[in-house]
Structure 1
Amino acid sequence: MFSGDHSALDSHVLVLNKHYAAIRVVSVRRAFTLLFKDMAEIIAVEDSQYLSYDFESWRQLSDHRSKYQHDRHDWIRCVKFELAVPRIIRLLFYERLPRQPVKFNRRNIFARDGNRCQYCGEKFPTSELSLDHIVPRSRGGAASWTNIVCCCVECNVRKGGRTPHEAHMRLISEPVKPKRSPVVTLRLSSEKYASWKQFIDTAYWNVELKD
């Protein structure tokens, strides 16, 4: 149905419930599926105002923007036209709020630590990182947010089955449980997701990344 460069197809869309509360993040394909089914509308933030569009009005707006603001948007191509990738959609009939905590998994730990080894401070590709138990499992260390950190291979080998104190190594930051999805936190640092910020209150919302 859609084609486009990888940056557009790999973009993500913030989903709001009926009352404009952030509830999750979905793929571009999922967002347009909801729009096609008239289950959602697009929300654009312009000059601190919320403007809403259904699929057809967004298609018309995209046609205009493709001529005058093409560089300001990601684009996907359909058979007969191009569509600007929306950043936010609002579900028209869904009112509930998310209650799930941030998932404790490898992706979120890497995102929390910014793909940076928590001992030497160097940044690495995910493929070159491992997870380290600060207090080793052999010593009763738990698999928890506060006891697991990103670690490069060299530092992991150096530390071995010891505590950082025993290995004469220091953590560059104290590991904590994130209040919201660290993957979303990383996306908020990107200018193209700037419109998300006013919908995500760190005191209340845990926005979980889903496909």
Structure 2
Amino acid sequence: MSKVLVLNASYEPLNITSWRRAVVLIIKGKAETVEHNGLVIYTNFPLPTVIRLRHYVRIPYKEIPLTRRNLLYRDNHTCQYCGYAGDGLTLDHIVPRSRGGKEVWENMVSACVRCNVKKGNRTPKEARMPLRITPRKPHSSLYFEIARHTRGDAHKEWRKYVIGLTG
């Protein structure tokens, strides 16, 4: 079967769980079905794809590390200047480090070698190379896992519960 997105009582994404665990939470009255895919487990019991906990669960904020892997994943392994998707991508500082640019999510994007060399020590505006998407820091540590599960047509109903998820 498939996975189920678990939302906090405030509709914030908390976790991804198995459909069996989700059904147990619903039967115990700890969660309610928010979305389902039309499949039925029992008569009048649809298979949930999104559930919401009935009581708020406090979770500590977890910082997402800025790593090459996470940055490429955020940018969908695509050059943010020309759209090239393939091997050999580099990381580019929007405001170059030599001009005070910091190593933060909002100042770094994936770029193909050609675009990175073409842009050089300039800003995208100076190089006349607009970015396809404004870079931003992912909002939660669950962001990447949800993004992976919502590629293509899979789990389309999850997208509306995740801030900053395109697709």
Is residue 175 from structure 1 mapped to residue 138 from structure 2 by the alignment?
no
Contact 1:132 1:149 in 2 (8 A): yes
Q: C-alpha root-mean-square deviation of aligned residues, in Å?
A: 4.6
Residue aligning to 2:81: 119
Quick one: structure 1 residues 108 and 40, their matched pair in 2 at CA, closer, same or farther if it must change by over 3 Å?
farther
Q: CA deviation at 1:110?
A: 3.0
Residues 151-207 of structure 1 deviation map (CA, whole Å, 9 limit, x = unaligned): 1233334545x1246984513335342574564467556433133355x274xxx89
Q: CA deviation at 1:117?
A: 0.4
- SS, match of residue 135 in structure 1: coil
Contact 1:133 1:143 in 2 (8 A): yes
Query: How far apart are the structure 1 equivalents of 2:35 and 2:128?
Result: 47
Query: How far apart are the structure 2 equivalents of 1:33 and 1:187?
Result: 17
- In the TM superposition, 1:151-170 aligns within 5 A as 151-160=111-120, 162-164=121-123, 168=127, 170=129
- SS, match of residue 146 in structure 1: helix
Is residue 16 from structure 1 mapped to residue 16 from structure 2 by the alignment?
no
Q: CA deviation at 1:144?
A: 1.9
Q: CA deviation at 1:132?
A: 1.1
Calculate the TM-score normalised by the size of structure 1.
Answer: 0.49
Is residue 138 from structure 1 mapped to residue 138 from structure 2 by the alignment?
no
Percentage identity across aligned positions? Answer: 28
Contact 1:104 1:145 in 2 (8 A): no
Q: CA deviation at 1:116?
A: 1.7
Calculate the TM-score normalised by the size of structure 2.
Answer: 0.59
- The letter for the 2-side match of 1:177 is R
Q: CA deviation at 1:97?
A: 5.7
Query: How far apart are the structure 2 equivalents of 1:190 and 1:143?
Result: 31
Unaligned stretches of 5+ in structure 2? Answer: none
Higher RCO (C-alpha under 8 Å, 6+ residues apart): 1
Quick one: structure 1 residues 28 and 151, their matched pair in 2 at CA, closer, same or farther if it must change by over 3 Å?
farther
Q: CA deviation at 1:87?
A: 2.4
Contact 2:75 2:110 in 1 (8 A): yes
